[in-house]
Structure 1
């Protein structure tokens, strides 16, 4: 029986330390804990060994820890320094928080971008622990925080686990009280985002507990009250907390195992009206589809694949307002929710979880009174949206033959590439083609890209399809194609004629010749690490292309002429870039663009480039154009009308229907401008903080090749932009009513961001400026919008710049 098994089964504890490399006390406490558990002869330690299996992960981020320790060693001296502002304690860029690529691993639990995360999750799933401890550090002038959390709390977390968190906290507080140590719970800790090391455990049925110890950086620090906090004491706090949490687990072993079993058993039942299954449609981007499924499999989520097409009614999609009746194709992924990990599945797949009304009231009051947010993290994260995959859920189970998806090949098996009389073609829809394109360009192949769709030999090719003409390439083109095809898993189609059955012929000007991008990425203390990390990872791992990382401290001495693409990541603030780019450097940057460079600026960098003082871009931040805001919006509405108006042949040939050459734009008075400024300030206060918004793409623009007409975009910024011709706006946010897809977007913010550009492209001399309102490859998992950035890098120099004919 279940009770008999439980009575003989030890509880499992998983103790984790040091996911942020510069938080030193946890790993050292882990060593002390391991020694105590092995060598201790007291009654408590004996009981822990008897009733528990304890897994200790002493150092989750070895790269970050080693980097930070080397900095501490470099700056250590004979005299002890307790000043928290000293470099002894702060370290220097890029510090030690992140891993090798500088990712914050404590945001990666559901994203699983990094190998450290994937290995850790897989190991935890093999052990099925009832307790998971996640030990951290915080600011040196603080005290000690531990679970439970305050609102917002993810609604998929079982209430009995929150009760257990409270029970563990009471015991932990009692243990710390014996030493007279200061501590607190809740205050700033929430469990809304499911990708923390304390929230993810709660979603798999474990009690997840966070520690936050005031950090000393391996030394001692002096605090506001004049007391000295030693490193030894910080380690002691972590050790005592670990030991008492294990004590609570042992004392409640049987009840915790019973609840663990009941939670997983109840997950199989489901609730009426709630999602019963999610459906992920494979589409034309099979590589991304497989990658998504692999993420779920890492987390022990069962995925089934339909063996045939099937009809489903009452489908709810994230881009649809009403339920659909739809035929889903063979190969559709089905994720049933009657699984033991139902809470985790719902948390990472659901489109739009809602915060409690009570929290919304608290958050609004905090914003208005204190100008601060109570949100600790992004308000949305939906994986199907981030991957840009067609996805649905239903409240009923599907009736279709399925097979379980157990294995995903690392790459597709390409079709054999034969000889071609004219050249080779490849559709641009699959993500694998991107890496193939990088390989071709770096092999100095002559690659062209289709501006329009076409059909040849009965095969349809979309905009963005690649064309390699024999006469523009070397004699070994077939061997190169076969090598790239084998490496990437991408199929190339040989053609013997330039004559298309539909669309443009292959020898015409509708196929644009690409330029091999020579990419530079800016880095340094002023640059936002989370933005830089995803960009570096994109270039080095996703695209595996040559690139240079430029030190922001040496901007004045850099010869930009070596590069034709320069990427400016987001920064801590717009002012960071203002401090970096003096007049001479800015003038040099402008000359570089005018001579054919492609500048890509993201987030705060985009705000800097769009600022009127830089005089680089015709795109403007909204806060600087309030006086002319109506002019911009009237122009946008007129342009939308022109594109939507169907040509009337009678009016064209016989006259009539004269379009007025002037539009009345209301002039804003000084008093009205002051009012607009106050309203805009209020709207910025209610900015989207990691909300996912609906954006519309211009399918004919090269930046959107390989994307859908509507895409989810994550945005965390106070900047909105305005632009008009000749600035191109290939991606714009939707109208106010349909703008929000997921997460918290206050009504005050809807109008401000509605119909504004997410991306702008403008010609400057022979070059171009591309501005992104937010990070398109946010945390390296927003693959849907990543394609926009990839196109900017790979297609941009060919499509958006003017080049001379080679000598």
Structure 2
């Protein structure tokens, strides 16, 4: 068939409409089933004249499925805003009738149990997925045209394709962001198309359509699975276990068209060479398709195949071949670029062309793709059958909540674990059923398991499109024995450490919660919301408590000294608004809900440290946080703060754009959070107001570039070092002109894991592992300070744990402050050089924000 691109000169909506019909016009030259509703017929206007909404896409796929025996629907669940992620399953009528067998076959292929009782069919499975970034809309529009074409075309190659292949078409992988963008683009479209880059249509208001509801980049969430859309998508992947995945995006409008392979030296070492060989073979089909329509393109540059948390690379570590496509974006209907006007119509045509080339290439190479997948899993299947009990013995510092989170993530990636049925001591670490699991090396998903725990500091190429490391041991603050070999009698297929609802003895005077438990923070928040008085310990202490099967009716006398870290919570059972029985019931219910261990004490007397009635137990005040939002804040980091406060802690959180701050009574808020950002739009009046807010007793929690702004406005005394100053560390003498890109790569911190040495006596460090692994992804640090008592954490001398960090930075950051808490008048400023919530997967360090909320204001 022939494809058409649109001429780069347009003046009216009718011109664009005509251009957008060219795909459909091309299809009419073939043998097409005219009884099926075309997208233009359904919409009432040519495809691309207006930006589609997600509901229109879903409704059209439902209509097509009702009209065609080639089309059925599958679902990958719902987004945060309850939009369903529908996929069109397109194949021959025969295959449609056998989909249950095919799905069973596909979902079991990694386990080596591929035979079914009814059929041995094993068609090629191709998944074409579009628009995971909501404002990269051309892919979703092309998917609609493609779904109609595959359902309607009767040409021989399409029939042969559908006989041999199950095609999965997912037009939108980020429904919430997609609708945010489509409404923006449509709202700012006029009768006369404006190609000026400065036009509102091409410059979205904050936060833009790229992100999901919580402002997360879903194409960075394939490994971490923080968001329901990602969880549904990964479940969908393992259900179908595709051979080929096409991942369709858009890039800057100044560029042309990209398809993989990417930069050869930036392929993850865990990716098999056969994967890249197939990527190169498939590229020939994309070249031919784009050459036919005279669309210029490039490969082997800019983009890489390193981070497995993206849609084009997750398949590579899961037995499939993933291919990234990037189309220059019109970000609306049409936009000027150095290459001429980029149009939505042209973009749709290009994405349609490479969708067809994907199908033709995958079909032509189907035997090689099938063999690649079989070979990928065969060695792991053999290893799995041998069943050797060697693997990772893992303990979570955060207790049950974090170990359960790890198990949940692994289960979604089809990685199995064994539970402990007794305490195992190894390397002076007590691994308990409540906070530990065993992850066998011998399992089908061995390769992905290795990728999740991969730790490296040396790389062939020091340039990274995204982060250079994502080690789960650091992200979740795990203690880990890598080659542990526990006896099978200590292991179980089912969890054994679940906390049941407790009954506390009637003679208890207080209930105590160790603050190291991750879920202690959301439990505290719920207690505060119910008006319960809770105190936190400024210092460590221990209590002698009764142990064994103690009941309220028959107390036992056997006692054990239990240690509690600073920050641990005390709930006195004598309170004005509750009886002791009521309080005990409230705490017991919440403790079971959050899987938090609560200790009942029959005496205020401590075995060591201060007694429970000491002034070193400080009453926790209710909190009312505000997050500063808007165009000069980092949307993703703002969203991560919101996600943590809202979804993890369960706090009603106010979000206010910078321009509105000047009109607010800031005293209504206990804390103001400032994510990374330049904050250029904050007026002088607002600056003075924020300074006054702190002086009068408020707390600001700020990170990264927000610290620079606070310092320049004389709100923060400590002086940050920025990239401009830090870049001077690099010697450029003797470099050639062509060395600039290598220098830029060394100066960039895309994402490296570094270690912080905490001052364990400081409130913002309470309950945290020490040293603390954090993700560093911006060139910022503090100058050394002589001011006493303000440094809560420093970078370790030997700070690099995993990933790439230039030696110049390692020397410059070593032993310098990473977390500072300054007093200003009656208030505090918590200054963080790093984002300790990184993509909401950095569970080991997120408690810093809870400490800042509940403990810092009480000082």
TM-score by length of 2: 0.78
Q: Is 2:533 the partner of 1:446?
A: yes
User: Of residues 462, 465, 490 in structure 1, which corresponds to 2:568?
Assistant: 465
Q: Distance in 1 between matches of 2:298 and 2:727?
A: 40
Q: Distance in 1 between matches of 2:369 and 2:113?
A: 13
Distance 1:2 1:386 in 2: 34
Contact 2:543 2:608 in 1 (8 A): yes
Does the aligned pair in 2 maintain the 1:417–1:492 contact within 8 Å?
no
Per mean C-alpha deviation after superposition, the further-off stretch among 512-521 and 462-471 is: 462-471
Confirm whether residue 533 of structure 1 aligns to residue 639 of structure 2. yes
1:441/1:325 CA distance change after superposition, 3 Å: closer
What CA distance in whole angstroms lies between the structure 2 residues aligned with 1:3 and 1:689?
41
Counterpart check, 1:239 vs 2:352? yes
Q: Does 1:378 align with 2:467?
A: yes
The partner residue of 2:228 within 115, 121, 126 is 115
Aligned to 2:444: 340
Match of residue 620 from structure 1: 719
Match among 286, 308, 314 for residue 400 of structure 2: 286
Q: CA deviation at 1:242?
A: 1.1
Task: State the partner residue of 1:640.
Answer: none
Deviations 1:99-152 (A, max 9, x none): 111100000000100000011101110111100111111112211101111131
Is structure 2 residue 849 aligned with structure 1 residue 796?
A: no
Alpha-carbon shift at residue 454 of structure 1 (Å): 1.9
Superposed, which structure 2 residues align to 1:314-325 within 5 Å?
Answer: none
**Could you tell which deviates more after superposition, 435-444 or 462-471?**
462-471
Using the TM superposition, give the Cα deviation of residue 604 of structure 1 relative to its aligned residue in structure 2, in angstroms.
0.7
Q: Indicate the residue corresponding to 2:489 in structure 1.
A: 401
Q: Is 2:824 the partner of 1:764?
A: yes
Q: CA deviation at 1:697?
A: 1.3
Asked whether the 8 Å contact 1:310–1:328 carries over to 2, the reply is yes
Mapping of 1:235-314 within 5 angstroms? 235-268=348-381, 277-282=391-396, 285-308=399-422
Superposition deviation, residue 413 in structure 1: 2.6
Query: Deviation string for 1:505-524 (max 9, x for gaps)?
Result: 11111211111111110000
Per-residue deviation, residues 157-211 of structure 1 (Å, max 9, x unmatched): 1110110011111111112111111111121011111111111110101010111
1:548 to 625, 629, 654: 654
Report the Cα distance in structure 2 between the residues aligned to 1:298 and 1:25, rounded to whole angstroms. Answer: 30
Partners of 1:733 and 1:757 within 8 A in 2: yes
**Alignment check: 8 A CA contact 1:454 1:500 kept:** yes
CA contact (8 A) 1:154 1:192 kept: yes
1:413 to 2:413 alignment? no
Q: Which residue of 1 aligns with 2:833?
A: 773
Partner Cα separation in structure 1 for residue 268 and residue 642 of structure 2: 31
Q: Secondary structure at the match of 2:247?
A: strand
Shift of 1:330: 5.8
1:745-764 alignment runs, 5 A limit:
745-764=805-824
1:725 corresponds in structure 2 to: 787
**Cα distance change, pair 622–238 in 1 and its aligned pair in 2 (3 A):** closer
Partner of 2:266: helix, strand, or coil?
strand
Listed one character per residue, the Cα deviations across residues 715-769 of structure 1 (whole Å, up to 9, x for unaligned) are 122221032333421211101xx21100112211111100111110121111111
Residue matched to 2:87: none
Within 2, Cα distance between the matches of 1:300 and 1:468? 41
The whole-number CA distance in structure 1 between the counterparts of 2:661 and 2:707 is: 18
Task: Give the corresponding residue for 2:91.
Answer: none
- Given that 2:244 and 2:369 are in contact with CA atoms closer than 8 Å, whether structure 1 keeps it comes out as no
Question: Helix, strand or coil for the counterpart of 2:845?
Answer: helix
Aligned to 2:481: 392
How big is each residue's C-alpha offset from its partner over 1:563-590, in whole Å with a ceiling of 9 and x where there is no partner? 111111111xxxx22x234433222222
- Per-residue displacement from partner, 1:311-360 (whole Å, max 9, x unpaired)? 76xxxxxxxxxxx697755674222333232221111112226422xx24
Shift of 1:479: 4.4
1:702 CA displacement: 1.7
Decide whether the 8 Å contact of 1:308 with 1:400 is kept in 2: no
Mark the CA change 1:404 to 1:134 in structure 2 (over 3 Å): closer, same or farther.
Answer: farther
CA distance in 2, matches of 1:231, 1:154: 34
Aligned counterpart, 2:774: 713
Deviation at 1:420, TM superposition (A): 5.2
Q: Which runs of 5+ in 1 are unaligned?
A: 313-323, 361-373, 627-675, 801-807
Tell me the distance in 2 between the aligned counterparts of 1:591 and 1:255.
67
How far apart are the structure 1 equivalents of 2:723 and 2:695?
25
2:18 maps to which residue?
none
Q: What per-residue deviation string (whole Å, max 9, x for no partner) do you get for residues 650-686 of structure 1?
A: xxxxxxxxxxxxxxxxxxxxxxxxxx99447989963
CA deviations on 1:269-317 (whole Å, 9 max, x unpaired) are 679xxx96323124561110110111011001121234455576xxxxx
Deviation, 1:404, is 5.7
Correspondent of 1:229 among 342, 346, 359 = 342
Deviates more, 1:696-705 or 1:44-53: 696-705
Of the structure 1 ranges 344-353 and 102-111, higher mean CA displacement relative to structure 2 is found in: 344-353
Per the normalisation by structure 1, the TM-score is 0.83
Pairing 1:34–2:147 present: yes
Q: Which secondary structure state, in structure 2, belongs to the residue aligned with residue 191 of structure 1? A: coil
Please state whether the residue corresponding to 1:785 is helix, strand or coil.
coil
Structure-1 residue corresponding to 2:300 = 186
- In the other structure, the counterpart of 2:739 is none
CA contact under 8 A between 1:517 and 1:797: conserved in structure 2?
no
Look up the match of 1:588: 689
Tell me if the contact between 1:556 and 1:585 (Cα under 8 Å) persists in the aligned partners. Answer: yes
1:173 aligned residue: 287
Q: 1:703 to 1:15 in 2, by over 3 A?
A: same
Using a 3 Å threshold, how does the CA distance of structure 1 residues 781 and 86 change in structure 2: closer, same or farther?
Answer: same
**Map of 1:578-657 to 2, 5 A cutoff?**
579-609=680-710, 611=711, 613-622=712-721
SS in 2 for 1:740: strand
Please report how far the alpha carbon of residue 13 of structure 1 lies from its aligned counterpart in structure 2 after TM superposition: 1.0
Q: 1:434 to 1:35 in 2, by over 3 A?
A: same
**Contact 1:618-1:723 within 8 A present in 2 as well:** no
Q: Are 1:455 and 2:568 an aligned pair?
A: no
Structure-1 separation of matches of 2:412 and 2:724: 48
What SS does the aligned partner of 1:699 have? coil
Among candidates 503, 510, 515, match of residue 423 of structure 1: 510
Partner of 1:94: 207
Structure 2 partner of 1:212: 326
Q: Which runs of 5+ in 2 are unaligned?
A: 1-111, 546-559, 733-742
Match of 2:667 in 1: 561
1:21-45 Cα distance to aligned partner (Å, 9 max, x none): 1111111111111111211101121
Alpha-carbon RMSD across the aligned residues, in angstroms, is 2.9
Q: Of the candidates 738, 753, 756, which is equivalent to residue 695 of structure 1?
A: 756
**1 CA distance for matches of 2:824 and 2:315?**
51
Assess if the C-alpha contact under 8 Å between 1:619 and 1:727 holds in 2.
Answer: no
1:687 Cα shift? 5.2
Match of 1:512 in 2: 618
Which of 460-469 and 328-337 deviates more?
328-337
